[in-house]
Amino acid sequence: MGVSVGDLLIGINIKYHTHRYKELFHMKTKGD
């Protein structure tokens, strides 16, 4: 089997965390 449930959860976690890191990065670049 190609994709397991664990792989899907990891993919969702990576997407969620990269989204959070982008938000934090934008907050830092704004200076506040």
Q: What is the predicted pLDDT for the residue at 19?
A: 87
CA atoms of 30 and 9, how far apart (whole Å): 32
What secondary structure letter does DSSP report for 31? T
The continuous run of DSSP H or E covering 30 comes out as: helix 5-30
Banded pLDDT at 27 (limits 50, 70, 90): confident
Cα angle 10, 13, 15; round to 5: 110
Q: What percent of the chain has pLDDT over 70?
A: 91
The 8-class DSSP code of residue 5 comes to H
What does the alpha-carbon distance between residue 6 and residue 16 come to, in Å, rounded to a whole number?
Answer: 15
Is residue 31's pLDDT more than 70?
no
Per-residue pLDDT at 24 exceeds 80: yes
